Structure 1
Amino acid sequence: MKFSNPTLQRIWVHPITEFLRSLWFFYCLAIFIVIARFAPNFARDGGLIKGQYSIGYGAVAWIFLQSGLSMSTRRILANISNWRAHLTIAMMSFLLTSSIVYGFCVAIKKSNNKYIDDWVLMGIICTITCPTTVASNVIMTQNAGGNDLLCVCEVVLGNLFGAFITPALVQMYTSNNLFAFGDPSAGGSINALYGRVMKQVGLSVFVPLFVGQCIQNIFPKPTSAYIGFLKKHNIKIGSYMLLLIMFSSFSTAFYQKSFTSVSHVCIIFVCFFNLAVYLFFTGISFLVARPIWIIKLFPQEPVKGECSRAYYYSYKLFRPFYYNKKDTICIMFCAPAKTAALGVSLITSQYGTHKEHLGKLLVPLVLYQAEQVLTASIFVPILKRWARDEIEQDNINSQNENQTGVTDEFDLEKYPSSSTSDSEDQSISTIEQFTI
């Protein structure tokens, strides 16, 4: 924006003003939360605009339609085969996070603190067993310059498997006498839960992604012009849709009186506990994605015949688990994140006969969603600066491909699932950067 008045123009481009403008997402989120507080019926599930469909499906579908339009089909297929990253994120998302947080919940329960509601603890357990979020991790990974293609794959796989894994984990953690009051077996039909999850992932993630890929390959020039228009005018569709998703979640929570059904002390505890959990597992995700012991044990790529067979095969087995920076960013945003879009359905389906406690169960989930988005937004510029060398190299490769029109054939031996340290110079991560 340009002003005719020189003084106004200097104020507009001042570093402090630019910093304040960069926080527009937080301002908008605060406004939406206030609207959700005083008019919860507008965007809630089953509300005036049927938020479970117009936002739960529509907004998420638009995000993945954008992803389908901007992502290379060949590289999506390459990242689907990155089984090491899928395994790492699944182990972190479902097993490591849930088991550690469950241990904390047991300790809190044993302390018999009268201010911490037992149903809120159950909500924490349900939240931490949920799969990775559907939208925010993709947007944050794109904004940070990470491997957004791998992130899309994780969203699809994580939520499909999460429909089966999450109820099983909740059943396992609540099968003892300590949490017998929250036995999900008394809830709604698990088959209905599976049906809803498959329907939502299919219609809001897979179908728009597939449609976007079809449009991109059938009409490459109009698609390129459309993406260029969004970049030129800095139109952040993904961020706008994410605001709507959070607006719907808060509206549903306020309508069900989630924040007034428990004490203020409990709400404050959940806020700090969620923040600590997210920060802790984000740090753990970084250490798991780039374990220093691999570099120490395998400093050089072996040449067959010039090293021992043990070193050669150990290198081939373990070195790919030291991920490049762009894959590491994806892992850091995917592993600790938890979905609210599907989490609400997972909780309500499992506890269908406990409607009087449903608001308490949703408190940790709704707060975790807001805190993970706000915290991840702070990490975005830090991680983007850290991975700047890979991003610049990918931009150079992209320009070279556009000039020559030549693309390499996909070869898993040459590009081992874009997860080895050698691939930091020639990563098969996305080279078509589309910053939402």
Structure 2
Amino acid sequence: MREALKTRLALFKILYTNRVTQFLISQWFFITLAVFIVLAHFFPNFARHGGTIRAEYTIGYGAVAAIFLQSGLSMKTQKLCYNLGNWRAHLSVLTISFLVTSSIMFGLCSGIKKANDPAIDDWVLMGLIVTATCPTTVASNVVMTKKAGGNDLLCLCEVFIGNVLGAFVTPALVQMFTSSSLFAFGNPASGSSVSHLYADVMKQIGLSVFVPLFVGQVLQNIFPEQVSWCLSTFKLGKVGSFCLLLIMWSSFSTAFHQRAFESVSHACIIFVVFFNIAIYLFFTGICYLWARPWFLPLLFPTEPTQDSSKAYKTFYKILSPFYCTKKNAIAVMFCGAAKTAALGVSLVTSQYGSDSPHLGKLLVPLVLYQSEQVITANFLVSFFKKWAADENNAVIETAQASNDIESGATSSAKKSCNIDRETLASSSAMK
């Protein structure tokens, strides 16, 4: 019996150390995503919105809340408040997320529609425009920014601000773009169709983002040692990636249940797949140029001194903060290019109606974009992590230095206390 057990353990050890096995373990995210997509195809009713498990609540609220609870437990309150005041980054992300990306998408889709290619469905092009008007995604950019070593605190602030504003901005942008004669067919046409949307979005953001984040912050400040032990012992950092997979599973289940992929030709789907990847990388490049304008270091190569002119000092003070650090730039790149499907599905159905015959075609670009942005972002994580390694190392060294100073001060204080005690003891003995 013991020999058989030893043999099995030896085989398990060989399999675990095998290169193929190690590769499969490292790619667990993509493998699990593929499994969930297959499950969504064959059992769409289980995890769809309004399905067996009521995914709009269990996943739309529960999984997202788990991600932000973990964020609240691991983020320092002081740093979170500091990033909330970073108005320059907020302005950059909101401008890119709502105005720049949607305008570029509208221009590209207008050119494609004028080409009159019968393989490209007009309602799919409308879906691409609606996707571009959506706010940044609720969960994936926070997970990816943290994995890449970026400023996940800033990313979390952008998620909250962007999605709250998205309830108002997205319908307005859709109305603006559909006022054009090219896409007049896609105009929802009634402002009353989105009147109830604002309360629903506020409720979802409040319950799935703000409340768990607040609870995490309270627990972290009241029980810091216990929270730190739980985070390290139960590996709660992995929870975000798995919850992100659940969100994508629910989105695909909803799309398959509504026969979104059956209502569009194969050629059109292939076009959307490759177009989404290209446009996501293009938007990421724009975010990088926006976050780190190349001309600012040329205009302000050094910090102002006493000999510098007033103009140089003034413009340096105003413009230099717009040149983000690498950690902040990673957050801007992940937030600016990402689009939400968790709220995007609600934004689309509320405007066009859940019984619209074109709803499936409208959702195809949104659902595909969400999965492709996560897959592409996973490949960018390692590159961004290496790129920002110097800043992360500097932060670690600074933290270690401050800890050494604190420990040195504590030890010196203890020594002085001991010296004082010895002096008192010797003086009392002399007396």
Is it true that 1:23 corresponds to 2:27 in the alignment? Answer: yes
Letter in 2 for 1:251: S
Is it true that 1:350 corresponds to 2:354 in the alignment? Answer: no
Looking at structure 2, the residues matched to 405 and 184 of structure 1 have their Cα atoms a distance apart, in angstroms, of: 62
| Map of 1:238 onto structure 2 | 240
Cα offset, 1:18, TM superposition: 3.3
Cα offset, 1:3, TM superposition: 10
Cα offset, 1:385, TM superposition: 1.1
Looking at structure 1, the residues matched to 238 and 250 of structure 2 have their Cα atoms a distance apart, in angstroms, of: 19
Cα offset, 1:289, TM superposition: 1.3
Is it true that 1:155 corresponds to 2:159 in the alignment? Answer: yes
Q: Deviations over 1:205-237 (max 9, x none)?
A: 011100100111111111011112144xx8610
Assess if the C-alpha contact under 8 Å between 1:71 and 1:149 holds in 2: yes
Q: Deviations over 1:344-367 (max 9, x none)?
A: 010001101761111110000000
Match of 2:249 among 247, 250, 259: 247
Q: How does 1:20-419 map to 2 (within 5 A)?
A: 20-186=24-190, 189-231=193-235, 236-303=238-305, 305-352=306-353, 355-400=356-401
Q: Deviations over 1:297-330 (max 9, x none)?
A: 1110002x31111111111111111111100110
Q: Which TM-score applies when normalising by structure 1?
A: 0.88
Looking at structure 1, the residues matched to 403 and 248 of structure 2 have their Cα atoms a distance apart, in angstroms, of: 38
Letter in 2 for 1:224: S
Assess if the C-alpha contact under 8 Å between 2:284 and 2:333 holds in 1: yes
Assess if the C-alpha contact under 8 Å between 2:231 and 2:237 holds in 1: no
Cα offset, 1:398, TM superposition: 3.6
Assess if the C-alpha contact under 8 Å between 2:70 and 2:237 holds in 1: no
Looking at structure 1, the residues matched to 224 and 33 of structure 2 have their Cα atoms a distance apart, in angstroms, of: 35
Assess if the C-alpha contact under 8 Å between 1:187 and 1:354 holds in 2: no
Looking at structure 2, the residues matched to 5 and 230 of structure 1 have their Cα atoms a distance apart, in angstroms, of: 25
Looking at structure 1, the residues matched to 399 and 83 of structure 2 have their Cα atoms a distance apart, in angstroms, of: 17
| Residue 145 to residue 14, structure 1, CA distance change in 2 (3 Å) | farther
Q: How many residues align?
A: 402
| Residue 271 to residue 158, structure 1, CA distance change in 2 (3 Å) | same
Assess if the C-alpha contact under 8 Å between 1:188 and 1:352 holds in 2: no
Looking at structure 2, the residues matched to 404 and 134 of structure 1 have their Cα atoms a distance apart, in angstroms, of: 39
Q: Deviations over 1:33-75 (max 9, x none)?
A: 0000000000000000000000000000000000000000000
Cα offset, 1:375, TM superposition: 0.1
Assess if the C-alpha contact under 8 Å between 2:48 and 2:257 holds in 1: yes
Q: Equivalent residue of 1:42, what SS? A: helix
Q: Which TM-score applies when normalising by structure 2?
A: 0.89
Letter in 2 for 1:140: M
Assess if the C-alpha contact under 8 Å between 1:187 and 1:352 holds in 2: no
| Residue 58 to residue 297, structure 1, CA distance change in 2 (3 Å) | same
| Map of 2:410 onto structure 1 | none
Identity of aligned residues (%): 60
Cα offset, 1:371, TM superposition: 0.2
Q: Deviations over 1:153-205 (max 9, x none)?
A: 00000001111111110000001222121112247622211111111111100
Looking at structure 2, the residues matched to 33 and 3 of structure 1 have their Cα atoms a distance apart, in angstroms, of: 37
Higher alpha-carbon deviation: 396-405 or 286-295:
396-405
Higher alpha-carbon deviation: 290-299 or 68-77:
290-299
Letter in 2 for 1:70: S
Letter in 2 for 1:391: N
Assess if the C-alpha contact under 8 Å between 1:3 and 1:9 holds in 2: no
Cα offset, 1:150, TM superposition: 0.1
Looking at structure 2, the residues matched to 386 and 138 of structure 1 have their Cα atoms a distance apart, in angstroms, of: 18
Cα offset, 1:120, TM superposition: 0.7
Assess if the C-alpha contact under 8 Å between 1:63 and 1:237 holds in 2: yes
Q: CA RMSD in A?
A: 2.0
| Residue 47 to residue 7, structure 1, CA distance change in 2 (3 Å) | closer
Looking at structure 2, the residues matched to 173 and 354 of structure 1 have their Cα atoms a distance apart, in angstroms, of: 23
Looking at structure 1, the residues matched to 248 and 7 of structure 2 have their Cα atoms a distance apart, in angstroms, of: 34
Q: Deviations over 1:342-398 (max 9, x none)?
A: 000100011017611111100000000000000000001111111111112222334
Letter in 1 for 2:90: H
Looking at structure 2, the residues matched to 3 and 56 of structure 1 have their Cα atoms a distance apart, in angstroms, of: 46
Higher alpha-carbon deviation: 361-370 or 378-387:
378-387
Gaps of 5+ in 1: 407-436
Letter in 1 for 2:152: D
Gaps of 5+ in 2: 1-5, 408-431
Q: Equivalent residue of 1:310, what SS? A: helix
Looking at structure 2, the residues matched to 402 and 50 of structure 1 have their Cα atoms a distance apart, in angstroms, of: 48
Q: Equivalent residue of 1:105, what SS? A: helix
